[in-house]
Amino acid sequence: MTELQFHDATPRPVRVAVAQMAPQQGASQHNVDRVICRLGEAAARGAQLVVFPECALSGYLMDDTDELERMAEPIPGRATQRLSEACARWQVHTVLGLLEQGSDAIYNSAVLVGPSGVIGRYRKAHLPGLGLDRLVAHGNTPFAVCETPLGRVGLAICYDIRFPEVARLLALQGADLIAIPTAWPVLDRLAPPSTIPDVLTRARACENRVFLAVADRVGQEHGRAFLGRSQLVDVFGTVLAEGSTAEEEILEAELDLALARQKDFVYTPGEFETHWFGDRRTDLYAPLVDPDVWPQTARRRPDALAIT
C-alpha cells in the first residue's frame, strides 16, 4: 500500500453510494461476485465511491474458528485484486469489510480500493462480544484517513460508531467522509435497534462536520436478523438517503466534500466566531484516555484466534 500525502486542493462534489446487501455466510467466491456486480451497477449510475457492509465476503455471526481461518485472506489478496480490476474497469473507488489474515492473527478489517489497487486498510479496534468479533484480534493500527482523487476518506467499522473518539480522530486527521461498513444485529432486548441510525450516525456527522457513508447488511444468520437502514449523512447530520430494513438496494447521493473542511465560522469578526476544532479544551480532556477513570468496564477477552 502506498502512503499518500494530503494536498490542499478543494474537493469537488462526489457521487457516493452505499450497497445494502445480504452476504451468504461462508460463500466468499459467491459474495465477491455479487459485490463486483453491485459495484458495476453503482458505477453505471454515476457513483464514484461505493461502500459495502462489514464482513461482506464471509458473513458475521460465526463461532467456528476453522471457518474463520478458511474465510480470511491477506490484504492485498485475491479479493482485493479482483476489486482493483473492477475499479479500474469502471474508474471507481470502493470500501469493503472483510476478514483479513494478518501475519500473526485474523482481523475484522475494512479496505479502501481504487483503480490502482489497495489505498488503505483499517483493522477494527473496538470489538463487541458478538459473532466473529469474539474470535478475531483487536486492531491496533492507527485510525486510517486515506487521500484519494475524490477527497480524504476515513475508515471505521460498525461498533466504532459508539465511540465518539473514533470519528473525532478521523476528522482531526482531515477526513472529509467516513466510510463505515457495518453489520448491525437487531437486539431488541438490550437497546432499541434504531438508536444507531436515528441518533449516533447523525451525531457523529454533525459534531465533526464530516460526511458519513454507512453500509449495513440485511437478511438473517442463524435466525438473527440484521437492521439494514444504510445511510448517507451530511455534515449537518441530515440523512440524505436511507435504506429499508429488509431489502438489498443501492443508495446514492451527491456530497459536496468541501463542506467538511469548513470548521471555522466567523459571523462578526471579534464578536461572533466559532472554531469547532480550535475551541477545544484539550488541556481538560486527559481523563478520556485514562483507563483508571472507569476501570470496572475493562473486559478480559480470551486470546484471539492466532494463525497456526
Active site residues: 54, 124, 158
Q: Would you give the distance in Å from CA 288 to the centre of its chain?
A: 23
Q: Copy the grid coordinates of residue 176.
A: 472529509
Cis peptide before 76 (omega within 30 of 0): yes
**Contacts for 111 with CB less than 8 Å, ≥ 6 apart:** 75, 80, 95, 96, 98, 100, 118, 120, 121, 122
Give which of 174, 17, 11 is closest to 93, Cα–Cα. 17
Give the Cα separation of 10 and 184 in Å (integer). 34
Question: Burial code of 220-236, b = ≥16 C-beta within 10 A, e = fewer?
Answer: ebeeebbbbbbbbbbbe
Map residue 221 onto helix, strand or coil.
Answer: strand
Give the Cα separation of 21 and 10 in Å (integer). 33
Which conformational region is residue 161 in: left (phi greater than 0), alpha (psi within -120 to 50 degrees), or beta? Answer: alpha
Q: Which amino acid is at 24?
A: Q
3-state helix, strand, coil in the chain (%, to 5): 30, 30, 45
Q: Would you give the distance in Å from CA 261 to the centre of its chain?
A: 20
Cα separations in angstroms, 186 against 179, 217, 221, 246: 21, 11, 11, 12
Contact between 212 and 239 (Cβ < 8 Å) = no
